[in-house]
Amino acid sequence: MRIAVTGSSGLIGSALVRSLRGDGHEVVRFVRGAPAGADEARWDPAGGYVDAGALAGCGAVVHLAGAGVGDHRWTAAYKKEIRDSRVLGTAAMARALAALEQPPQVFVVGSAVGYYGDAGDRALDEDSPAGDGFLAEVCVEWEAAAEPARAAGIRTAFARTGLVVARDGGAWGRMFPLFRAGLGGRLGNGRQYWPYISLRDEIAALRHIIDTPSVSGPVNLTGPEPLTNRQITAAMARVLHRPAVLPVPAAALRIVLGEFASDVLGSQRARPTRLLESGFVFQDPGVEQAIRASLRTG
């Protein structure tokens, strides 16, 4: 199958491209700069430009592009970049797909469990309402921006991803050095739920969405059973054989992270109901399995 991918240089996108190519799929990587090879095509999410010719013949489009939410302190300018990189890019790609004479069968749009806001210990599935806060608002707009594709009859799915367990990237990648140095510990009171998923399950779930015609709409990409930050901290300590006795007070997080601290301390007890109902089988259902898998594969 010919598959287009945006955000292909990121943690999830690069792993997805490797997986797809390893199985013989033709992958077109959409990039914002000048294409460096025949496997790349240009787009300008802010300007609304998409090389529609490169989408011709694609059976699937996986849209993962977006500015990192934890890469910078949240100034007003960076919050605008977080929003625009997701909403404008999704809208541009959705319009381009809707205008194709032969559109793809499926459009998979990256999203996040941040959609649910800080929900405490309330159990969440894909039918749960949107929460409050900046990231929840961004997720709502992000998903709504895909409407032109859905209205054109393209099966559209929103991959609401949790924390991806990976050694060398993302939020989890930042935790490994701290724990190895014996500096890991719970964040705040540690009672907030952190929905996690191993990188290889994340990639397998995205491919499952592509290959399963019955899956559309929001899909939680999280492990089967969400755990609290305190439980995850203990698991990291066990796997890495290091103490985890230095809690990070909520007040300190707010000083260092600013507004983003509210999301670090927020809680989403999200379960992957639609994945499980559609027959997806996790390779790393437990957090220790996910951590060990990341240590083996990076």
By mean pLDDT, which of 44-48, 138-142, 181-185, 277-281 is the weakest?
181-185
Assess contact for 207 and 113: CB atoms under 8 A: no
- Backbone φ and ψ of 200, nearest 5°: -70, -30
Q: Which tokens go with 68?
A: 């990192």
**Residue 130 DSSP one-character state:** P
**pLDDT attached to residue 147:** 98
Q: Which tokens go with 266?
A: 């927020």
Q: Convert the pLDDT of each residue in 104-141 to its tens digit.
A: 999 999 999 999 999 999 999 999 999 999 999 999 99
Element (H, E) at 129: none
* C-beta neighbour count of 137 within 10 angstroms: 16
pTM exceeds 0.75, yes or no: yes
**21 has a pLDDT exceeding 70:** yes
**pLDDT attached to residue 161:** 96
Residue 248, CA distances (Å) to 49, 175, 178, 244 in order = 44, 13, 12, 11
For helices 229-240 and 170-180, the axis angle rounded to 10 degrees is 50
Contacts of 4 (CB under 8 A, 6+ apart): 27, 28, 29, 30, 41, 54, 55, 58, 60, 61, 62, 104
Q: Convert the pLDDT of each residue in 210-229 to its tens digit.
A: 999 999 999 999 999 889 99
Architecture per CATH, 2-165+195-223+269-283 = 3-Layer(aba) Sandwich (3.40)
User: Which residues are bridge partners to 28 per DSSP?
Assistant: 4
**pLDDT attached to residue 197:** 96
Assess contact for 108 and 63: CB atoms under 8 A: yes
Q: Convert the pLDDT of each residue in 228-260 to its tens digit.
A: 999 998 998 899 888 776 676 666 556 445 655
For helices 287-297 and 229-240, the axis angle rounded to 10 degrees is 50
Summarize the confidence of residues 199-218 as an average pLDDT. Answer: 98
Spatial separation of the C-alpha atoms in residues 168 and 182, rounded to whole Å: 18
**pLDDT attached to residue 73:** 76
